[in-house]
Amino acid sequence: MLSRGGPAEKQESEDRECRQRRRASRRAYRIAHKREIRERLRLKWRTDPSYRERQRARRQKRQREVHLKADYGISLEDYHAMLARQGGACAICRRKFDQTPCVDHCHSSGKVRGLLCRKCNIGLGFCKDDLKLMRAATAYLESSQSAPPRAPSRCPGA
């Protein structure tokens, strides 16, 4: 096979080598100046509130990414896409989220179903994702709405 040594390929190869050299040089610098760099960053952390805030936000974003991937197998982009599809609202009650949404998932298959507010997520959890139980609860609520109000019952021993 003939080698493709045209000008574009040669330029691409030189660019790659240049990037590798720069990366190696930066890495060598970081290794050689590890203590100074650490001290400089500590000082910056102590004295620069905006740096502290940026670092905290970066750390939180990274933790969220790790948590979403480890617990639900989704990326932060997947999460934001789901949030946009739901219009920034709970998939059950349709209220706009005022807290971080819960990622609802099927506990047997692990499949992510959607984003819920805390109350709806807890409600599903109490019903153990059991459709029969949820239908029974719905029927109970519907029957109590159509039935006339009951007189308060007394305890037998009172």
Residue numbers of the site for Zn ion (CB under 5 A)?
90, 92-93, 117, 120
Residues 6+ apart with CB under 8 A from 129: 106, 107
Length of the chain as a residue count: 158
Least distance to Zn ion from the beta carbon of 91, Å? 7
Helix pair 7-32, 34-47: axis angle to 10 deg: 80
Residue 68 or 117 having the CB closest to Zn ion = 117
Least distance to Zn ion from the beta carbon of 128, Å? 18
Residue 72 or 97 having the CB closest to Zn ion = 97
User: Which residue bears the tokens 């959890």?
Assistant: 125
Q: What are 90's two structure tokens?
A: 């709970």
Cα end-to-end span (Å), the chain: 99
Which helix (H) or strand (E) segment holds residue 56: the answer is helix 49-72
Residue 41 or 122 having the CB closest to Zn ion = 122
Least distance to Zn ion from the beta carbon of 29, Å? 51
Least distance to Zn ion from the beta carbon of 10, Å? 59
Q: Is the dihedral of CA 139, 144, 145, 147 positive or negative?
A: positive
C-alpha to C-alpha distance for 64 and 49, rounded to whole angstroms = 22
Residue 68 or 120 having the CB closest to Zn ion = 120
Residue 73 or 125 having the CB closest to Zn ion = 125
Least distance to Zn ion from the beta carbon of 92, Å? 5
